[in-house]
Amino acid sequence: MLERADVVVYDHQIAAGLLRFARADAEKIDVGPAAPRLTDQEAISILLAEKVREGKTVVRLKWGDAFVFDSGGKEALLLREQGIPFEIVPGIPAAIGGPAYSGIPITYPGAGDVVALVRGHEGETDAAPDVDWSRLAGLAGTIVCYAGPHQIGAIANALIANGRSPDESAALIYDATLPSQRTTTGTLGSIAGQAFDGVPSLLVVGQVVGLRDHLRWFDDRPLFGRRIVVTRSREHADDLIDMLEERGAETIAAPTIRITPPQDLSPLDEAAADISRFDWIVFTNATAVGSFMTQLLVAGDVRDLTGVRLCAIGASTASRLQQYGIRADLMPPEYRIEALLEALAANQPLLGQRFLLLHADNARELLVEELREAGAEVSEVSAYRASLAQAERESDQDIYGMLLNRRIDAVTFMSASTVRNFVEIYGQEQAVDLLRTTVVASIGPVTAEAAQQLGIHTTVMPERYTVPDLVDALVDHFTLEVALKG
C-alpha cells in the first residue's frame, strides 16, 4: 500500500523506517502527534480530502490502531461526508503492542480475566480521566491507561483510593514500540515518582508487570537505543538496515548516492543480446542485476543465460538473482579482490575466460586489471549511474543537527564514494568535525583509506569485508564500550 501511495500523511510517532517503503517521489507529510488538538484534526481531515481530489492515492499512516483511542473515526467520517472512498487497515493498538514490546503480556493465566483500556487526556491537565474509578479499581485484571504527561500521580492515587493495593506492580512505557522505547517498573504507590517529566506514556497496572524481567526481548538487544546512519543508496541499503534493526538499532537512512539508468543503454543492450559469448557474468551488486535483467528480458528470456556462469558479489546480489528464478554459480564470501580471484580460479584457470563485468558507469574496478593480468578477457559495461545525492531525509531527521548534538552513535560507509559524497554534502571541515563525535564504521580498507585521506578516522572495520561482518563488528564495539563503562 505504501509503495502505491502518491502522498503519505503520517503521525509523528511512527517509526521513521516505515517511510522507506514509500516511493522516493511520494509526498510525505508529518502531521504531528497521533491525537492532535481539535483545530489540528480539522486541518488534517481537510488535507486528506484535498489530496484525494487532486487525483492522488493517499495513505494515512497512523500510530497504533486508527479506531482505538485515535482520531481515525473522525477522519473517515469526514471523507464519507465528502463522498470520498476509503479503506481501513486495522492496526495493533498501542495499549497492546506497547506492553508486548516491553515484555509485559496484558493477560496471563491466574492474573485476572479482565483487561481495561483507559483513555487519558492528551493536554496539560493533571486531572485523572473521567471514569468510574471504584468500578475500575474493583476489576480483577490488568489496567492499561494512555496517560498524559501530568496524570500519572492522579491515576495512581485514584486507583489506590478506590481499593487497589499500593504494592501492586506497575510500569510506565514511553515511545512504545519505537527504537527509543523506555520502560520503568515499580509499584502503584511509587510509579508516579519514577515518571519522566512532561512525557506521555502507557501506564500498565497488574500482576503481569512482574513478567517483564522474564519476557523482556525488544529493549534487550545488543544495539538497542543506538542511532546508526546508513549512507548507502536507497537501492542498496535494505540489507544493512534490516540487520542493524534486527539487533535493535534505530537506523537513519541518509543516502549519499543516487542511482539512475546509464546515459547510454546501447552497450548493455548489446551485451544482453549476445550474452552467450561470455563464460562469466560478474554482478557487483543488486542494482546491476536489475538493470541487466531488464534489458535481457526485453528481447529474450532467462534461457539465454544457459551455459554462462554467474558470479554474485554479496548475499543481496544473489537474492536479487533468485527473484528471476536464477541461482548464482559463485558467491564469494567477501568482496576482496584476492578472495574473489581465488574463488573464480578455483572453478578453472582464468586464462582465456571471457568475463562481462557489470558495475556503475563511473566505477574504477581493480578487479578488471587483476583479471586481465591473469589472462582473462574482460568486457566492462555500465549497468547504472551512481551520482551524488543531496541530503535526503526519510522523516524529520536532521543528520547535521543530530551529529552536532551528539545524538548519533555511528555512521556507516560502505564504499569510498559514500565517504567522498558525505563530505561533499556536508562540507570538508564540517564533516570531519562532526564525525569526530561519533563512531565511523567502514566496510573495508579501501573505504577506510578514502576516509583517512579526507581526515576522517575509522573506528570500526570488520576483518571480513561483508555487511554481516560490519554489523557484528558494531555489536562487538558497543558491547565492549558498555562493559568498560560498567
pLDDT in tens, 229-241: 999 988 888 889 9
pLDDT at residue 37, rounded to an integer: 55
Contacts (Cβ under 8 Å, ≥6 apart) of 322? none
CATH of 260-372 among 3.40.50.10090, 3.30.300.250, 3.30.1240.10, 3.30.750.24: 3.40.50.10090
Break the chain into its structural domains and give their ranges: 2-81, 94-216, 227-256+389-485, 260-372
| CA distance linking residue 91 with residue 67, whole number of Å | 9
Task: Tell whether domain 94-216 is in CATH 3.30.950.10.
Answer: yes
Task: Please determine whether the domains at 227-256+389-485 and 260-372 fall in the same fold group of CATH.
Answer: yes
Q: What is the mean pLDDT of the chain?
A: 89
Sign of the dihedral through C-alpha 230, 94, 65, 122 = negative
CATH fold for the domain made of 227-256+389-485:
Rossmann fold (3.40.50)
pLDDT at residue 12, rounded to an integer: 82
Q: 238: exposed, middle or buried (C-beta count within 10 Å: 0-12, 13-18, 19+)?
A: middle
pLDDT at residue 364, rounded to an integer: 58
CATH fold for the domain made of 2-81:
Cobalt-precorrin-4 Transmethylase; domain 1 (3.40.1010)
- 6-54: pLDDT as tens digits: 999 998 888 777 888 898 889 999 887 655 554 477 888 899 999 999 9
pLDDT at residue 396, rounded to an integer: 43
Decide if 99 contacts 218 (C-beta within 8 A): no
Reported pTM? 0.79
pLDDT at residue 393, rounded to an integer: 43
Q: Which residues in the chain land under pLDDT 70?
A: 33-39, 121-125, 333-335, 362-365, 390-397, 486
